[in-house]
Structure 1
Amino acid sequence: MRILQIIDSLNAGGAERMAVNYANALASKVTFSGLAATRTEGQLRQDINNDVGYLYLYKKKTIDLKSIFRLRKFIKNNKVEIVHAHGSSFFIAVLVKLTLPRIKIFWHDHYGPRTKESKFENKTLIAASLFFHSIFAVSLQLEEWNKKNTWCKKVSFIPNFTKEKKDYQGTTLLKGTDGKRIVFLANLKNPKNHILILKSFLELGLKDQDWSLHLIGKDYNDTYSQSIKDFIYSNSLQNAIHLYGQKDDIANILSQATIGVLSSTDEGFPVTLLEYGLAGIAVVSTNVGYCAEIIKNETSGLLFDPENILQTKTQLLKMVENQSLRDKVVEELKQTIFDNYTEEKVINQLLLLYKK
């Protein structure tokens, strides 16, 4: 097989990480594995392996004829059979297919909030789905939504995966006390719901117990991130809550943490939970999307309703105060990941779906 992954950007995000992961993993499994970034390069560019064919399209507008024909030429030159489009990159994939009907488009839906959206809000996607050969969804809820709302009849759930990184090279040093660091790995934007964790941290008085909170993710310098900064400043938490921006040494950062949190109001399949698990840190997570399938409450982590601050505080405090619970959930989550979400298991499943 000759397969091309397409993604709009290579900034650090769940869909972007998975596009790179798939391209890298398939390079040793198929005749050709490529990756095309349409609009923006980013920090994940450096993670693309040398044996992956790479193309940057410099796409500047919705319908950019130069980008379309640049992509078409790359597909023809490399005899690509399968175009695996992630997220909103389905649009350029369909435009190329109109000029090159032989290619098969496999669209990958990573967008958890879609399950709360209407057909009208997704009218372009639904029209485009007439040209999809198959749809992959990263959660059972997204699988159901696509089966119900799109024209594509082949819809399959496929989990995300991540690889264990044993070398913790990097320059980022987390502030705070060893053994008392809570890390929150997510870009500063909706629906990541950072303010819930900040309020819980404040109201539990964790600063006074020498705990610290570390926010790792892209700062868009908008009203969302400003509300976080205002909250930290107005509550005199500058010495306890720290913002680091976008970082590329995630394994190094997680090796310095004790607890990992995620508080999104909507999710698909957050790779962050797998990264926490492989890094050996205890997880306190929202229960939306596929999170409750990855994290079994009281067994491999603790779950909470992101609309319920009392429940969030209860679960966070329980993890902070109970070392034996932390040790137990870390081991259980690692085993869950090794049993279900390794590169080998997911790529074998993906290849079977391609072949179908």
Structure 2
Amino acid sequence: MRIIQLIDSLEPGGAERMAVHYANALTKYITFSGLVVTRKDGALYSQIDPKVSYLYLNKKKTIDFKALFVLRNYVLQHKVTVVHAHSSSFFLAFLLKLTLPSLKLIWHDHYGNSEFLSKRPSGILRIILPFFNGIIAVNQKLKDWADERINSRTAIYLPNFPSEENAVFEHTILRGIEGKRIVCVANLREQKDHFTLLRVAKKLKVFNAEWTFHLIGKDFGDDYSKEIRDSIVAFDLEKNVFLYGSKQDIKNILDQSTVAVLTSKSEGLPVALLEYGWHKKPIVVTNVGEIAALVQNGKNGFIVPAQNVDLFYTALLTLVENDALKVDFGDALYASVVEGNSENVIIKHYLNWLETI
């Protein structure tokens, strides 16, 4: 097979990371693996394996004929057989299909608000997706949605998987006391619900003021991020909660951290959670998306209802105060990720599925 990943940007995010992960992983299994970025280059460029063929289109508008025909020529030149389009890049893949009908198209649905699918617009998807040969969903709810709303007969649920970092030049130094750092890797988006995290931090400060929270993720400079900053001040957390923006040296950051958390109110299967497991971090996370398929409460982490500050705080406090439990949870989560969400397992499922469509 000769497969390219199509993604709109390389700004750090779940869909973008998975596009890079697939492109990198496939170099070990197929004769040609490419990555095409349509609109915006970004920090994830440094994570692309040298064996991956890379193309940046610099697409300027929704229908950009110059970008379309550059992509068409690239596909013909490299004899690409499958275009794997991630998230919103599906429209360009559809236009490409109109010019090259023999291409197989795959759409990878990374929709983050899977807890609120009843509100998801589906009109344009119902028109375009019949031209696709298959749909990959990042959780079971999205797979069911594709079956029911798009009437797909070839949708599959494939979990995300972690990947080792390529060399990065960043070396982030976390503030706070070693052994007492709590990290949250999540872009500053509403679905990530950082306000629950801040309320938990406020409660923890009362009895464990030395523990600090470290928020890693892109700041979009919008009302949501402004409200986060305002809340940090209002809760008197300037010495307990730190914002770092988007970072590439996740392994380095996790190595400096003691506990890892996610307070999302909606998710697919977060890449951050897989990275936590890959690096043996003990976790407290919310029960959304496909998280419960990986996290068994009390066995390899704590999983609590979304937006429940008291239960999240109680679970976090239990973990903070029990060093043996931290080690046990970290080892158990690592074993769970290796067994069910390793690159090797997912890519084999992926390639076997492609053979059937």
The letter of the residue matching 1:330 is G
How far apart, in 2, do the equivalents of 1:218 and 1:97 lie?
33
Task: Return closer, same or farther for 1:179/1:64 CA change in 2, 3 Å cut-off.
Answer: same
Contact 1:162 1:275 in 2 (8 A): yes
The letter of the residue matching 1:128 is I
Task: Return closer, same or farther for 1:119/1:259 CA change in 2, 3 Å cut-off.
Answer: closer
- What does 1:49-198 correspond to in 2, within 5 Å? 49-114=49-114, 116-118=116-118, 121-164=121-164, 170-198=170-198
Q: Which runs of 5+ in 1 are unaligned?
A: none
How far apart, in 2, do the equivalents of 1:315 and 1:151 lie?
41
Counterpart in the other structure of 2:287: 287
Contact 1:184 1:215 in 2 (8 A): yes
How far apart, in 1, do the equivalents of 2:220 and 2:32 lie?
36
Contact 1:83 1:105 in 2 (8 A): yes
Task: Return closer, same or farther for 1:151/1:75 CA change in 2, 3 Å cut-off.
Answer: farther
SS in 2 for 1:51: coil
Counterpart in the other structure of 2:337: 337
Give the C-alpha shift of residue 5 in structure 1: 0.5
Give the C-alpha shift of residue 29 in structure 1: 1.3
Deviation sequence 1:252-283 (CA, Å, 0-9, x none):
00000011111111101101111111222111
Counterpart in the other structure of 2:245: 245
Counterpart in the other structure of 2:11: 11
Counterpart in the other structure of 1:37: 37
Give the C-alpha shift of residue 170 in structure 1: 4.3
How far apart, in 2, do the equivalents of 1:74 and 1:115 lie?
38
How far apart, in 1, do the equivalents of 2:333 and 2:128 lie?
38
The letter of the residue matching 2:205 is G
How far apart, in 1, do the equivalents of 2:313 and 2:268 lie?
23
The letter of the residue matching 1:237 is L
How far apart, in 2, do the equivalents of 1:109 and 1:244 lie?
28
Contact 1:168 1:255 in 2 (8 A): no
SS in 1 for 2:45: helix
How far apart, in 1, do the equivalents of 2:145 and 2:345 lie?
25
The letter of the residue matching 1:37 is V
How far apart, in 1, do the equivalents of 2:35 and 2:221 lie?
29
Deviation sequence 1:118-141 (CA, Å, 0-9, x none):
487121112111101011111111
How far apart, in 2, do the equivalents of 1:207 and 1:230 lie?
23
SS in 1 for 2:229: helix
Give the C-alpha shift of residue 221 in structure 1: 0.9
Counterpart in the other structure of 1:204: 204
Deviation sequence 1:225-258 (CA, Å, 0-9, x none):
1111111112221111111111111100000001
Task: Return closer, same or farther for 1:99/1:119 CA change in 2, 3 Å cut-off.
Answer: farther
SS in 1 for 2:124: helix
How far apart, in 2, do the equivalents of 1:176 and 1:299 lie?
28
- What does 1:292-303 correspond to in 2, within 5 Å? 292-303=292-303
Normalized against structure 1, the TM-score is what? Answer: 0.96
The letter of the residue matching 1:14 is G
Give the C-alpha shift of residue 211 in structure 1: 0.2
The letter of the residue matching 1:341 is N
Give the C-alpha shift of residue 151 in structure 1: 3.6
Contact 1:115 1:145 in 2 (8 A): no
How far apart, in 2, do the equivalents of 1:208 and 1:115 lie?
33
Identity %: 44
Contact 1:206 1:212 in 2 (8 A): no
Deviation sequence 1:67-100 (CA, Å, 0-9, x none):
1111111111111110001111111000110111
Aligned residue pairs: how many?
356
Give the C-alpha shift of residue 41 in structure 1: 0.7
Task: Return closer, same or farther for 1:233/1:51 CA change in 2, 3 Å cut-off.
Answer: same
Contact 1:119 1:149 in 2 (8 A): no
Contact 2:10 2:16 in 1 (8 A): yes
Give the C-alpha shift of residue 346 in structure 1: 1.1
Give the C-alpha shift of residue 172 in structure 1: 0.7
SS in 2 for 1:60: coil
Give the C-alpha shift of residue 165 in structure 1: 5.4
Contact 1:132 1:152 in 2 (8 A): no
Task: Return closer, same or farther for 1:115/1:208 CA change in 2, 3 Å cut-off.
Answer: closer
Counterpart in the other structure of 1:216: 216
How far apart, in 1, do the equivalents of 2:204 and 2:111 lie?
32
The letter of the residue matching 2:295 is I
SS in 1 for 2:37: strand
CA RMSD of aligned residues (A): 1.7
Q: Where in structure 1 do 4 or more consecutive aligned residues deviate above 4 Å?
A: 164-170
Q: Which runs of 5+ in 2 are unaligned?
A: none
Contact 1:207 1:240 in 2 (8 A): no
